Chains A and B, each alone.
Chain A
Amino acid sequence: MMVFRMNDWKTMARAIGIDAPEEQLDRTVGPLTGLETVFRQAVAALEPGVEPAVIFDPEPGESSR
């Protein structure tokens, strides 16, 4: 399973055009670092081939859900 690491959230933020002062940017990206740590560990144990929980319905309105 490929695990994506996005260590430099601040550079990414600037790259997508989030134009905020340094302090505000720190507040924005700060929580992502902690979140990424827990998430990355979970993804490392993800079994390949698991279907995502959001399922495409080719026949909307006929679902037997």
Chain B
Amino acid sequence: MIGQMAKSLRTGEATCTQLTATALERLAANEPRLNAFICVLDEPARRRAAQLDSELASGLDRGPLHGIPIAIKDLIHLRGERTTAGSRLFDDFRASESAEVVDRLESAGAVIIGKTGLHEIAYGITSNNPHFGAVRNPRDTTRIPGGSSGGSGAAVAAGIVPVALGTDTGGSIRIPASFCGCVGLKPTYGRVSKRGVLPLGFSLDHIGPLSATVDDAAITLNAIAGHDSLDPTTSRRPVEDYRPGDSASLQGVRIGRPTTFYMERVAPGVRARIDAAFEAAAQSGAQIIPIETTEVEEWNAVARVVLLAEAAAALGPYLQYREGFGPDVLALLDQGRLVPATMYIQAQQLRTQLVDRARTLWRHVDCLFTPTTPTIAPEIGAVEIDVGGVNEDVRLATTRLVRGINLLGLPAISLPCGDAGGLPAGLQIIGPPFSEKRLLEVASALERAIVA
């Protein structure tokens, strides 16, 4: 989508001003029905678009994001604007500096038209926010969009913007991508700077795009990836050109098909879409290799301990205002206060072992295919959900297939793989550390195969 928009700007079929105006019109047509935005930057976006038109006219071309309207999750700082984090506790907070990812996107020419809604402080998967109201799924407004980056998923799925930034601590990019039917990319831990983004789980937080297409995700990653001297968690590994190109192929790619955990307790309709994705990959020349993933339950348990403790530490200073939190988030923060320091350190020791053992996976396969979520989007307000005939807690069920990947810091993409019962299902593609280019090539080739 960005590729077509970029082309239209350079052939004179459109201007940056027109693209931004169209995005703002679509936003107005969808709001407040979707409740996807906390803040709309109408005037600043139009001004910026006009500047970018002048630049293009004078021969300054910033690349494929030049003049492209985007949105960012309202957990990410934008200079001079509020960052609410979906909480009333931050009502008066205005960022004095933009996040590093925002600076990089603006340098690349993106036009930020608004800040998207989220689950309160990004700590949950429904985006049913007690302070700002429920964000709604564009495919069915009685359903959640997923979370915590629910507004970003809804904004992309509704066609308002081709890309919106999200954050992912336990699935918060991939879950809304799966439920809304868009692409969601969680890069390797350290590939993208977190500076200027409110933390939830210091060692689990990731920033990445939700987008209309795989190529859009790659274009965005090209802009935001790379070392940040002021964020010590970022990697010095060189970045690549992540755009997959038309020649991306599945020929000879070794795709792991988990025989345990990931394909258990999955709704039949979702399972059928995942089976179809494997079939499409095999027909496109991929080698499908059965593989045992025996430690996912441990990955999840350790990730939960780490997150409970880190989130309680990050939000601890605000816990004196207990009435300022919704009940589900307050319960999680209280759970975190109960986790002893010894348990947190043991969790980080276990993490060392689990990361080490997970490396052996990549001797046999280039990537893994799994469902992103075991079900389609649940109804707003649902506490439990039927997963193949068994009732499960919505939060635990929805994070079950994605959370462990944050513990390992691995890159993962959620790719739409068709509808199950009239709503989107997501395929999760997981790879070894810093394999974003390969993952995006696989996702791009599969995107074409599924559409075909």
Contact = CB atoms under 8 A, between A and B. Distances in A.
Given A29-B335, A51-B349, A53-B348, A63 B232 contact: yes
B199 to A, nearest CB: 13
Interface string B188-226: 001000000000000100000000000000000000000
B338 A16 contact: yes
B340 interface: yes
A6 B301 CA distance: 16
Q: How large is the interface on B (under 10, 10 to 19, 20 to 34, 35 or more residues)?
A: 20 to 34
Interface string B346-369: 111111110100000000000000
B264 to A, nearest CB: 16
A28 B235 contact: no
Nearest to A15: B338
B125 to A, nearest CB: 14
Contacts of B235: 65
B11 interface: no
17 contacts: A2-B342, A6-B343, A9-B338, A28-B335, A35-B305, A39-B302, A39-B343, A42-B350, A47-B353, A50-B350, A51-B349, A52-B345, A53-B349, A53-B351, A53-B355, A61-B232, A65-B233
A51 B346 CA distance: 9
Interface in A15-37: 16, 18, 20, 24, 27-29, 31-32, 35
Given A53-B348, A63-B232, A65-B236, A35 B301 contact: yes
B347 A50 contact: no
B229 interface: yes
A50 B301 contact: no
Nearest to A51: B352
A23 B109 CA distance: 52
| Interface of chain B, main secondary structure | helix
A42 to B, nearest CB: 5
Contact of A4 (B232, B298, B327, B342): B342
A24 B335 CA distance: 12
B345 A6 contact: no
A24 B348 CA distance: 30
B447 interface: no
B334 A13 contact: yes
A31 B335 contact: yes
B351 A6 contact: no
B353 to A, nearest CB: 6
Contacts of B297: 38
A45 B327 CA distance: 35
A30 B355 CA distance: 29
Given A6-B338, A12-B338, A50 B298 contact: no
A23 to B, nearest CB: 11
Contact of A32 (B190, B236, B327, B335): B335
